[in-house]
Amino acid sequence: MTIRSTLGGVRRKVLSSLHRRPASLGNCGPMVSFSFDDFPRSAYTVGGAILEASGVRGTYYAAAGLMNESSEVGELFHSDDLHSLLEKGHELGSHTFTHLSCRAVSASVFREDVKKGRNAIEKMAGIPCSNFAYPFGHVTVASKKSLQPELTSCRSIFPGVNGPGIDLNLLLANSLYGDLDQSKRAESLIAENARRRGWLIFYTHDVRPTPSDYGCTPELFEFAVASAVKSGARVLTVGKALTAAGLELATSGNGTPPRRLEQIASPPCN
Ligand SMILES: [Zn+2]
């Protein structure tokens, strides 16, 4: 083990233990969610179509300032994509406005960018979007603390299976990158999730035949979706998985006072 990976493990432990917003999945698992960050158009046109073909839906974390731009993950979303994916039953989440790393700025600047990003997405989409993903997967103690009252959930890129206890300020998620040579890894995560009756969240970016280093091929994505369905897990958006666990959505950030999530005593899927 290298010094760097040891330090990474220590950092993850500290960040996982502080400023938690604990909730319980109850007996709701196994559940699997597929999410896309930034997000590139191929995540919707290709990834979304694969999900829809299996009768399931995904969560798209959009950084509003990236709209109509292009990056190494390809052409990024257009405003029409937001409406179109919502009509099909997918979920929109936010991802800051400028795709900002919380390691690069103060907690207050980060929080403002998170708020601006969420407000912009909510304005364009016309509905509340209170699930969030940390850009670059960067999390700091200060950012974790500062975001907690305002968002329903904050998704990290810390790997693992969520549940039975989950941290709404730091949902665990696993990359789905590359081609079919990565199918064993996806398959074993899905099997572990089924065994533990947990909540497995995947994240990726572009879905195309020659993906970026942060995306996957349609074949790998199709394999993971089919395996998740076959495992007997319910494949749900992040928001629907939280609702299944009896977690009420927070109010919109537009002028209304932030409200803590309430978990009812017995999740409805018991
Ligand atoms: Zn991102």
**Confidence grade of residue 148 (pLDDT, cut at 50, 70, 90):** confident
Ligand 1 centroid – CA 68 distance (Å): 15
Output the domain CATH number for residue 153: 3.20.20.370
Please report the pLDDT score of residue 267 as a whole number: 54
pTM: 0.92
Cα–Cα distance measured from residue 64 to residue 99, given in angstroms and rounded to the nearest whole number = 8
Ligand 1 centroid – CA 76 distance (Å): 11
Tokens of residue 193, six digits: 């999730």
Ligand 1 centroid – CA 38 distance (Å): 5
Cα–Cα distance measured from residue 18 to residue 41, given in angstroms and rounded to the nearest whole number = 35
Q: Is residue 93 part of a domain?
A: yes
Please report the pLDDT score of residue 249 as a whole number: 52
Ligand 1 centroid – CA 49 distance (Å): 21
Q: Measured between alpha carbons, how far apart are the two ends of the chain, in Å?
A: 41
Ligand 1 centroid – CA 133 distance (Å): 8
Cα–Cα distance measured from residue 62 to residue 88, given in angstroms and rounded to the nearest whole number = 17
Ligand 1 centroid – CA 264 distance (Å): 32
pLDDT, tens digit (0-9, with 9 covering 90-100), for 204-218: 999 999 999 999 999
Please report the pLDDT score of residue 250 as a whole number: 52
Q: Is residue 148 part of a domain?
A: yes
Please report the pLDDT score of residue 261 as a whole number: 54
Ligand 1 centroid – CA 195 distance (Å): 30
> Is residue 3 over pLDDT 80?
no
Cα–Cα distance measured from residue 105 to residue 15, given in angstroms and rounded to the nearest whole number = 18
Ligand 1 centroid – CA 205 distance (Å): 8
Residue with tokens 């990024």: 76
Please report the pLDDT score of residue 11 as a whole number: 87
Ligand 1 centroid – CA 214 distance (Å): 10
Q: What are the residue ranges of helices labelled H in the chain? A: 3-17, 41-42, 49-53, 79-87, 107-125, 141-147, 183-196, 218-230, 238-244
Percent of the chain with pLDDT over 70: 90
Ligand 1 centroid – CA 35 distance (Å): 11
Instruction: Specify the DSSP class assigned to residue 71.
Output: E
Ligand 1 centroid – CA 267 distance (Å): 31
Q: Is residue 256 part of a domain?
A: no
56 lies in which domain range? 21-244
Q: Is residue 68 part of a domain?
A: yes
Q: Is residue 252 part of a domain?
A: no
Ligand 1 centroid – CA 87 distance (Å): 23
pLDDT top residue among 180 and 259:
180
Q: Is residue 157 part of a domain?
A: yes
Beta bridge partners of 200: 32
* Residue 42 host element (H or E): helix 41-42
Ligand 1 centroid – CA 136 distance (Å): 5
Cα–Cα distance measured from residue 261 to residue 117, given in angstroms and rounded to the nearest whole number = 21
Least confident range of 4-18, 142-156, 166-180, 245-259? 245-259
Please report the pLDDT score of residue 34 as a whole number: 98
Ligand 1 centroid – CA 36 distance (Å): 9
Ligand 1 centroid – CA 156 distance (Å): 11
Beta carbons of 170 and 158 less than 8 angstroms apart: yes
Q: Is residue 11 part of a domain?
A: no
Ligand 1 centroid – CA 202 distance (Å): 14
pLDDT, tens digit (0-9, with 9 covering 90-100), for 84-134: 999 999 999 999 999 999 999 999 999 999 999 999 999 999 999 999 999
Please report the pLDDT score of residue 6 as a whole number: 74
Alpha carbon of 30 to those of 66, 162, 191, 232, 239: distances in Å?
34, 10, 10, 7, 15
Mean pLDDT value across the chain? 91
pLDDT, tens digit (0-9, with 9 covering 90-100), for 39-90: 999 999 999 999 999 999 999 999 999 999 999 999 999 999 999 999 999 9
Ligand 1 centroid – CA 101 distance (Å): 9
Q: Is residue 40 part of a domain?
A: yes
Domains: count for the chain: 1
Give the angle subtended at the CA of 250 by the CAs of 239 and 67, to the nearest 5°: 65
Taking the mean position of all CA atoms in its chain, how far away is CA 3? 29
